[in-house]
Amino acid sequence: MITKKDFGTTQSGESVALYTLENSKGVSVDLITYGATINAIRVPDRNGEFADVVKGFDTIEGHEKYSNYQGMTVGRYANRIADGKFSIDGTEYALEKNEKGITCLHGGGELSHAVWKAIITDDTSIEMSYSSPDGAMGFPGKVDFTVKFTLYEDNALKIDYSAVSDKKTVINMTNHAYFNLAGKGDILSHVLMINADAFTPTDSRSIPTGELRKVEGTPFDFRTAKPIGRDIGADDEQLKQCRGYDYNFCLNEGDGPAAVAYDPESGRMMEVFTDLPGVQLYCGNFLDGTRPGKGGEPLIQYCGFCLETQFYPNTPNMPDFPQCTFDAGEKFESSTVFRFGLYNA
């Protein structure tokens, strides 16, 4: 079942719609056309009590004024591009440096702050589309983006991304939901598994050094599930420079989940499946409680964790990384699934 209602108007006067997808079990997902954003996901705990498990905002004003990409679709290039530049076939492109004036972060934020067009494709799916003009944020090519959200009866939310450019360009899309399976407090007691033998350490700008560092024997080893907070404050150079986890993990190949998280208190569990080579774990390290979220509740440090499925950061400048450059007319396609359930200890 899908319902639609008004979510307000942006500062520039564009109307924003909210669509709610609900399955027969009462699990529901709110999507808004501003940023093609996941605005809420309501799932039950082991006692059947429902809670919203994503952090964000109740109003369009909140998204425009306070957002750190909560729930938003991110692109053209998710994560960071060093020095706001890259080259294709000998031509250098200068990008919007929207992070500290030195880095292009999340494609300059274009897709996340646009109002997308939405259509209901069937009683379980919403498809949103946005066309980015050639040269937007410095990127080459006019690109037509689509993001399809489908809620299944097994409580899985599938996101299908696709994009086509009229020029050779780079494309890397993800969703930036901040999850809190307890629906409140911080996520340090959440237990997390990431199926990755290596991660990409970064320099002081959060740009990968090029090393694929083994997680074994480090605080970055989530191959066996452990509480997020167990090692987040460890005496580790990488953790100190980011105040915790804000790193890309190099996913192992296989059919199983890329990541699994659960909240021991509520029993809520989330499995993540993707066809992309990496996932960025971010834990809201730089939130400080000064931004009001839903219901006016402050967005505190570690109030949510992100699992952003992606190509690795700065890939256009790192030829040894799995590449995401697409020819004119070549289609970028990717799917990520967040499946919710209960953890049985």
274-298 burial by CB neighbour count: b if 16+ within 10 A, else e?
bebbbbbbbbbeebeeebebbeeee
From the candidates 110, 176, 190, 271, which is the catalytic residue? Answer: 176
Measured in degrees and rounded to the nearest 5, phi and psi for residue 289 equal 85, 0
How many Å apart are CA 75 and CA 344, to the nearest integer?
Answer: 36
Concerning whether 237 is annotated as a catalytic residue, the answer is: no
Residue type, 181: L
How many Å apart are CA 174 and CA 37, to the nearest integer?
Answer: 11
How many Å apart are CA 234 and CA 203, to the nearest integer?
Answer: 18
228: left (phi over 0), alpha (psi -120 to 50) or beta: alpha
How distant, in Å, are the alpha carbons of 63, 67, 70, 119, 161 from that of 147? 19, 20, 16, 11, 5
End-to-end CA, the chain? 33
Active-site residue list: 176, 308
